[in-house]
Amino acid sequence: MTATSPVLITGCSSGIGLASALRMHRAGLTVYATARRPETLTRLAAEGIRTLRLDVTDEASMRAAVDVVEAAHGSVGALVNSAGYAMSGVAEEAGLDDMRRQFETNVFGLARLSQLVLPAMRAARRGTIVNISSVFGRYAVPGGGFYQASKHAVEALSDALRLEVADFGVRVVLIEPGPVRTTDFGATYVANLKPMTEDYDEFRRRTAEYFDAIYTGSRRTLAGTFAIQSDDVARVVERVVRSSRPRARYPVGLLARSTIALRRLAPDVVFDNLFVRRVFPVPRDESRRQPPRPQPSPSPSPSHEGDRR
């Protein structure tokens, strides 16, 4: 990819999107950084990066951003779909509106933006679409089922799209990070763990502590110890954007590579019991773990021996 081929990145207000915009701009690439709220992009604008408003749940803003890039360059050279957030909570208690909002942002927005850039990419016979997935696009753990389902959907969509557009010179690549120490993302995830019914209350508490430890480093956990930084992911994104023959998938971080390999090789019962239940909080029926309450001895029945008549 040449320095003048534009890179359009979503979700640049923080995290992976921000780090990717900075890294590629400093490497000499033409970058258009976008976010739902343009005021969050002042740091990038100060670096000389072109900034645009782009809300992946708003058709008009997506069209307008793509039009700006295509008017200046003919086509988008690389689209990096980084915008997203994680809905948390047990599946039983998830609200339908929350489920729809999760998929609107993480799946439908990504899909629609890809549709908007593809006609010009096909006409130019070149282009790269980079979809930021997750290690949770390959397996799932309790407490994040709908976020993880959205990433599974991104994986399937990317697989299909990669085959559909390959002969037109367009590449579609998945980036699968392990836990990323991103304060904003983690704070949102923990904050979304709303009060649950009594049976799940202890699970909620342990889950909040677990993910807070990963994202803030407040205490040592396996995932927290091996958590990566946003720039680790951005480095891989840049490599993909520059590559003429990128791979279909790039797991990022030791945990991503090792656990994806384990998931591929281990039967479900082994993966569940030897990995998920040992590493992640899992809901437990606390009533079964409490000793039974002593039952009062029945009162003796009164004797009527002397009451015969």
The catalytic site residues sit at 147
How many other CB atoms sit within 10 Å of the CB of residue 179?
24
Q: 75, 129 in Cβ contact below 8 A?
A: no
The b-or-e profile of 189-215 (16+ CB within 10 A means b, else e) is bbebbeebeeebeebbebbbebbbbbb
Contacts of residue 69, defined as CB under 8 A and 6 or more positions apart, other chains included, come to 6, 8, 32, 76
- Residue at 196: amino acid letter: M
What CA–CA distance (Å, rounded) separates 30 from 49? 8
User: Tokens at residue 15, please?
Assistant: 């995290």
Question: Quick one: DSSP state of residue 39?
Answer: G
Rounded distance between C-alpha atoms, residue 241 and residue 230, angstroms: 17
